[in-house]
Structures are given as structure tokens and as C-alpha cells.
């Protein structure tokens, strides 16, 4: 995903500097990046660092490393935040995370995956989202998924009646982020994505650009758009006919502050949607 996001400046041109400036404003004095409430947040820090890396901007080092060390090896984190911690350390470059900490984080990751991503000891069913996070975290920690067959089985259980995927077993219809995660992860594991899921994703594209999160969602959003484009391109599905409408959609979300709104009714700006804007632009630049 980072490799594709790095292509965004081809379309942003001089506006890339605006994005970098916006991202700089999102870093708090303590090293983390701010959430929508203005507080340092590990989740948003992962997106902030990834967005800066995509623009090949200089990453903050000392303050951010100090911030990340405050989470230890993620003993108290859930899967989402442990995956974010792993992504942040990977962004800091080789050697930033010592070997003992890396192994401890891998142990925590294995424990969380056994519980479906929860950290309170109560086992939960794995979702397409949790399995996608798991794969990314193992990759960021320099390891491989220990039981890929179980991942495939979990994804199969999340297929929906309309040919897509959901984060809930037995659902009648899918969601774009869950289906995009399943298609991308299936490809990562070396299997061909289900043609029905690929076509379902294509059908979620608004006639005027952007992707809907579900068949019932009234407006398209940036998260669904970026993840759908990533999954479709990865599945070698042509997006040529939807490129211009999707570029028009992104233009409606762009602000001269150097960031993107998440959807038409969204009034806030943050690192997460800034990154998704870069990812979408990267694919649309190809």
C-alpha cells in the first residue's frame, strides 16, 4: 500500500507540500499524532507516519520513538493498536526496534489472534478486518502468518449471500472495506480472489465517482474508495472507466489545508483520511 501511495505526488504536484505541512501540524509535542479530539493517538500516529513516508518527507524520529516506547511491547493493547504499533516501528526503519521487543510483540500478536483480536481474554470470532491487520502486523514484524489455512477458513465463513464479504458471519450483504480486505488478503496468501467479490466491489462505485460502503449506504466515502481501488488493482481488474469519476470525487473532498474529508458530510480533517486520499490518488495515477 505504501508503494502505491508514493505515487500520489504525480497528481498532487506542488500540493504535496501542503499535505506535508498539514501532517506536521498533526504531530503533538510528545511525538504522537493527534486524533480528531486533538489528543495523541497510536492509531492516528500510524497513518501520520505512513502518509509522511508516502510523500518521502523526513520522519520525526526522537520524539516519536520516545512516544512508541511508552507502549512497551503492546502487552495491554488490542489487535488494532498492536498492529499500529508494529506499523509505526516499521516506519522508523530497520534497527529501530530491538530483537527482544520484536519477539515479545510477536508473542502478543499470536495471543491476540487466538482471541480474535481482543485483549481481555474473551475469545471472539476473527473478522476480515482482524485477519487483514494480523497479516500486516506479522509482515511489519518480519515474520509470516503462522497458520494461513486458518485465515482462508475464517474468510470463507464471512462470505455473504450477495457474493461479497462481511465482518459478521451469516450476513446477507457485504461491506466494501471487509470485501476489499478479503480480496487483498486472499491475493497476499497466493490464492485467486473470488470473481464474485471483485465484481461486487466494482458495482459499489457511484456513477459520479467514489465507492459506497454497503449497498444501502447513501453516499460514497474515502475509506471505501481507497480500499476498493487497492483491492481491484491488486486483483488485476481494470479501473480505467472509473478513474475520471473517482478523481472528481476526490477533488470534492480535498481542502487547501492539505488534507481530505472522509465523505461529503464530514467536517473534520485527520491523518487517517489524508493517507487514504494518498492511497486512492496513487492508484488513480497509474
- The phi, psi pair for 72, rounded to 5°, reads 60, -135
Q: Which of 81, 126, 74 is nearest to 103 (CA)?
A: 74
pLDDT band at 114 (very low <50, low <70, confident <90, very high): confident
pLDDT band at 72 (very low <50, low <70, confident <90, very high): very high
Q: What is the pLDDT of residue 123?
A: 52
Residue 33: half-sphere exposure toward Cβ, Cα within 13 Å: 28
pLDDT over 80 (residue 118): no
Q: What is the pLDDT of residue 82?
A: 98
The mean per-residue pLDDT over the stretch 85-100 comes to: 96
pLDDT over 80 (residue 119): no
Distance from C-alpha of 216 to C-alpha of 177, rounded to nearest angstrom: 14
- Percent of residues, the chain, with pLDDT higher than 70: 97
Q: What is the mean pLDDT of the chain?
A: 95
Q: What is the pLDDT of residue 167?
A: 94
* Domain ranges, ordered by start, for the chain: 76-146
Q: What is the pLDDT of residue 124?
A: 66
How many C-beta neighbours within 10 Å does residue 8 have? Answer: 24
pLDDT digit string, tens, across residues 164-221: 999 999 999 999 999 999 999 999 999 999 999 999 999 999 999 999 999 999 999 9
The mean per-residue pLDDT over the stretch 129-138 comes to: 96
The mean per-residue pLDDT over the stretch 101-126 comes to: 79
Q: What is the chain's percent helix, strand, coil content, to nearest 5?
A: 55, 5, 40
Amino acid at each position: 500500500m505504501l508503494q502505491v501511495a508514493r505515487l500520489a505526488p504525480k497528481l498532487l504536484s506542488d500540493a504535496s507540500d501542503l499535505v506535508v505541512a498539514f501532517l506536521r501540524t498533526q504531530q503533538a509535542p510528545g511525538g504522537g499524532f493527534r486524533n480528531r479530539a486533538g489528543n495523541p493517538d497510536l492509531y492516528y500516529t500510524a497513518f501520520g507516519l505512513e502518509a509522511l513516508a508516502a510523500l518521502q518527507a523526513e520522519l520525526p524520529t526522537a520524539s516519536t520513538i520516545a512516544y512508541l516506547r511508552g507502549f512497551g511491547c503492546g502487552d495491554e493493547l488490542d489487535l488494532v493498536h498492536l498492529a499500529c504499533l508494529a506499523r509505526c516501528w516499521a516506519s522508523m526503519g530497520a534497527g529501530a526496534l530491538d530483537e527482544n521487543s520484536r519477539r515479545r510483540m510477536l508473542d502478543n500478536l499470536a495471543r491476540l489472534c487466538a482471541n480474535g483480536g481482543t485483549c481481555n481474554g474473551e475469545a471472539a470470532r476473527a473478522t476480515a478486518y482482524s485477519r487483514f491487520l494480523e497479516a500486516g502486523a506479522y509482515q511489519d514484524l518480519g515474520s509470516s502468518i503462522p497458520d494461513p489455512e486458518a485465515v482462508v477458513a475464517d474468510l470463507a465463513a464471512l462470505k455473504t449471500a450477495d457474493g461479497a464479504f462481511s465482518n459478521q458471519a451469516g450476513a446477507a450483504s457485504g461491506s466494501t472495506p471487509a470485501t476489499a480486505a478479503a480480496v487483498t488478503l486472499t491475493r497476499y496468501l497466493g490464492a485467486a480472489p473470488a470473481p464474485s467479490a471483485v465484481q461486487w466491489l466494482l458495482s459499489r462505485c457511484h456513477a459520479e465517482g467514489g465507492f459506497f460502503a454497503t449497498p444501502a449506504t447513501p453516499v460514497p466515502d474515502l475509506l471505501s474508495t481507497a480500499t476498493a481501488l487497492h483491492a481491484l488493482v491488486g486483483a488485476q481488474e481494470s479501473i480505467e472507466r472509473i478513474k475520471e469519476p473517482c478523481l472528481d470525487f476526490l477533488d470534492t473532498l480535498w481542502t487547501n489545508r492539505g488534507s481530505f474529508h472522509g465523505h461529503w458530510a464530514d467536517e473534520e480533517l485527520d491523518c487517517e483520511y489524508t493517507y487514504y486520499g494518498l492511497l486512492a490518488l496513487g492508484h488513480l495515477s497509474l
